[in-house]
Amino acid sequence: MELDPELQWAPWLLFEEAAGIAPREPGVYVARERPTGQIVYIGMAGERRGQGIRGRLRIYLTGKAAVSGLGEAALDRALADPAWLDHMIERTRTEGPLRAKQWAQAALTRADLELTWTVSPDRTSAAIIEQRLIAAATHQLWNRRR
């Protein structure tokens, strides 16, 4: 899947780096698996509290979005991986109980993602771009809407 070349896309960055420097404007973000380069998720961020794309990515990074969007998708995949579950159970045995947000953070780390984004003028424009990109996907994405 190729991204719309008519839009200006940021360079691909590791998730943690992207969450620290993404713009505080509305827009669309795209995640791909680092080992394969396959795009796995397309999301959008509006103007909420002036945080835009950066705010949305930081919510994922803190583990506070374990039941929505990319955070939920990464956690769902991690919970379906018996080896990861074994690792997390062993970690719980040695380090003690983990909070839900720690499980979500570990799931996102497991996903090994890179991100890019494009800024849009407002939430409505971001939603239109997001839906257009999702519709153009040639393979199954992690997005639940599809």
- Minimal CA–CA distance to 44: which of 108, 115, 144, 123? 123
pLDDT digit string, tens, across residues 82-131 = 999 999 999 999 999 999 999 999 999 999 999 999 999 999 999 999 99
In this prediction, residues 64-83 reach a mean pLDDT of 93
Residue 23 near residue 117 (C-beta atoms within 8 A): yes
Identify the three-state secondary structure at position 134.
helix
Residue 85 near residue 75 (C-beta atoms within 8 A): no
Domains in the chain, ordered, with CATH?
Answer: 13-136 (3.40.1440.10)
Q: Is 109 exposed, middle or buried (0-12, 13-18, 19+ CB in 10 A)?
A: middle
Distance CA 85, CA 78 (A): 7
Q: Look at 141 and 47; give whichever has higher pLDDT.
A: 141
Reported confidence tier of residue 34, pLDDT bands at 50, 70, 90: very high
In this prediction, residues 54-74 reach a mean pLDDT of 91
Residue 85 near residue 79 (C-beta atoms within 8 A): yes
Residue 42 CB neighbour total at 10 angstroms = 26
Identify the three-state secondary structure at position 110.
helix
Q: Is 46 exposed, middle or buried (0-12, 13-18, 19+ CB in 10 A)?
A: buried
Q: What's the pLDDT score for residue 145?
A: 63
0.85 cut: is pTM over it? yes
Residue 145 phi/psi, 5-degree rounding, is: -65, -20
In this prediction, residues 133-142 reach a mean pLDDT of 93
Q: What's the pLDDT score for residue 100?
A: 92
Q: What's the pLDDT score for residue 1?
A: 79
Helix axes 82-95, 100-111, angle to 10 degrees: 140
Judged against a pLDDT cut of 60, whether residue 146 lies above it is answered with no
